[in-house]
Amino acid sequence: MKLRNLIASIALSISVVGNAQADVIAGWDFSQYFGDGLLSIDGATFTDTLNANYSNLDPTLNLGTESALLGTMYINGQFGSTDVPEGTGSEEIIPSQVFGSLASNLDAPVQQVGDNAFDSHNELQSEGQQFAEFLAMTAAEVGSIVFQADPVADGQNWIFTFGGRTFSGTASVGVEFSTDGSSYALVSTENLTTVDTRFEITLPAGAAGSVFVRMNLDPSSGQPFIDNVAIEGNVVANALNKQAGKCLNGLNKNYNGVFKAATKEAEKCVKDASGGKSLAPAANALECLGADRKGKIQTFKNKNEDPAKGSNAKFCTCADPNKCEIPAFGYQADVPGANDAVIAAAVGLQTDLLGNAADLGVFDKTTEKNESKCQQTVQKDLNKLSQTIFKEFVACKKEITKVGGGKASKLPAGANNPATGASDLVECVGFDSKGQVDPSKGKIVKAAAKLASDVQKQCLDKGVTLGGVFGAGNCGSQGNATDFANCAAGLAVNRVDQAISAADSF
């Protein structure tokens, strides 16, 4: 039985290096912006970064939600970009409707039959993009835009393509390349004219897990417009060796511990609030969720972060290549940040269930005994389900990253064995090994069944209404045990997927 959030994870399609046609790793048609001259994607919030909205590695329509995880545009001062000011009316770089969308390079994302070209607005909105406008980017002053592509696994044969023209006259565009967002090398200088033209620049060869392209726009002779930007390349399939496997699995075992400790702490917060006990140093139940009052979460964080004994130091970043190695995929270099993201996912699961009120809607165990019992039992069952999903992922990942491969019976059928890229690790999210042959024996299935049973026994059979206890959460509108449990299970899958995606850099 497999439970996984296909939206939050990327099922990467690994290309073989040497293909005649490269994949668009990340592409932008700038249609997300609210309108002419407005750096906002929701009509209210200033936006000086922009996620990619196209990728041939995106398993759903080659555009939308998963594409956003594979690339980012920066005009906020990061990675050598221009820091565009908010609200001054003199932003150097803005979206423009002067020409609508440019016609050149529209087909860059079309690599096979069924792929969507740039400006596929209906499909983008079906995947959740709020606005879909015909826009290009323009620069009224000298400025730099940085585009980053991050395919997780290494890529080669990098190409940068875009459509460009001027309003009048000519404009110079310098194209620079970097693998770290700091040290750039000039690759090409292109001259834009009033003719809508496609430009293609071959970037320096070599494998890289992330690439940055900086466009330096000079409007001194003519105002430039760019559109339909694509970073293309071939993703390299990389198998793991023994040292890299130790790095991945040592970290993930501890990420699992961090997640479990955070959910346990959340249960204690609700229990203490229900019993009228002190939540100090937290001011209320909501703050208590991430307060780590006894330091138990920090204990597991240290198992990854400690500079001498932590898994990252021992298995990933030490100086001895015979003892440690940074893996080619599935590794988040910002280990403290990954730990915090795992905690945030665990905390988010609690507010998904209970809402975001300062008191979390906690019931007094003395005066509202049945409601309190219902609330705490369901919270505990939901956390147990999420812990089981995480633990099963860790077991699957350990098996699939063995040198030479693991036992096929313990692995998802759609994954390479051994893993050759991030897409294989994604297959492990929500994988229930014992439930493959007999679903009734699956650990995840059993945990979900217990949740449904307790909703009935500890809530509904006691005269407790689900809306009355969980109305502020995401599942409070569900009226029966099965529907509520299915909704809550979806919350667990989403939050665990969020945690794992951050920890493993999916």
pLDDT at 419: 86
CA 286/CA 289 separation, integer angstroms: 6
pLDDT at 4: 32
pLDDT at 240: 73
Phi, psi of 429, rounded to the nearest 5 degrees? -70, 115
Q: Which residue has the tokens 């309108």?
A: 35
Domain boundaries, the chain: 23-235, 242-504
pLDDT at 309: 93
pLDDT at 200: 97
In 10 A of CB 411, how many CB atoms? Answer: 24
pLDDT 10s digits, 36-72? 999 999 999 999 999 999 998 887 789 998 889 889 9
Sign of CA dihedral 38, 42, 43, 47: negative
CA 6/CA 35 separation, integer angstroms: 30
Phi, psi of 379, rounded to the nearest 5 degrees? -60, -45
Residue 504's contacts (CB-CB under 8 Å, 6 or more residues apart) are 248, 252, 330, 331, 332, 422, 425
Percent above pLDDT 90 for the chain: 73
Residues of the chain with pLDDT under 70: 1-21, 87-91, 152-154, 205, 207, 236-239, 437
pLDDT at 293: 96
- Classify domain 23-235 at the CATH topology level: Jelly Rolls (2.60.120)
